Amino acid sequence: MEGKIETQTMDAMPEGKEGSSVKIKVLFFARARDLTGLSEMPMEVSSGSSAHDCLNDLVAKFPSLEEIRGCLVLALNEEYTTESAIVGDKDELAIIPPISGG
C-alpha cells in the first residue's frame, strides 16, 4: 500500500495522515450482527487508523451499535486487540459482543 499517492479523492474518506488508505474486512457476530444486519463488510479507512477509529466509523454508520459499545471487545486477525492497535491493509477486524460459550 505504499507507493503513489493518487490525486483522486477517495469516497467517504476523511483526510488521511498520508493521504492513503487501507482496506479491511469487518466481521459482526451475535448481537452485533443482529444490530447491523450484516455478518461482514469491507471497509476503507485512512492509513494509520486505529481499531478505535474503525469502531467510531462503524458506530457512525450503524448507530444501533452504540448499545453494545460499552461491552464489546475487538479482535484483529483472530486475536484480541487493544483499541489503540493500528489496522493494516487486508486486516480482519471482528466485533466481539459479550461471549457466552460453554
Partner 1 sequence: MTPEEKTLVEILDEHNPIDLARYINYVTAPQAGAISTFSGTTRDSFEGKTVLELRYEAYKPMAIRCIKSICSSARSSWNLHSIAVAHRLGPVPVGITSVFIAISAVHRVDALDACKFVIDELKASVPIWKKEVYANGEVWKENSEFLERRLELGKKDGVGGGKDVEFEGHHRKGCCGAKVKVNGGGVANISTSHGWSSELE
Q: Which of 10, 19, 29, 47 binds partner 1 (CB under 8 A)?
A: 29
Among 82, 87, 89, 90, binds partner 1 (CB under 8 A): 82
Beta-carbon count within 10 A of 87 CB: 26
Among residues 23, 47, 67, 88, which is the contact residue for partner 1, using CB under 8 A? 67
Q: Residue 74 corresponds to which cell in the numbers above?
A: 475487538
Exposed / middle / buried, residue 51 (Cβ in 10 Å: 0-12, 13-18, 19+): buried
Q: Does 97 bind partner 1 (CB under 8 A)?
A: yes
DSSP 43: E
Is residue 79 close enough to count as binding partner 1 by CB under 8 A? yes
Q: Which residues fall within 8 angstroms of residue 100, CB to CB, at 6 or more apart?
A: 30
Binding status of residue 10 toward partner 1 by CB under 8 A: no
Chain residues binding partner 1 by CB under 8 A are 27, 29-31, 34, 67-68, 70-71, 73-75, 78-83, 85, 94, 96-102
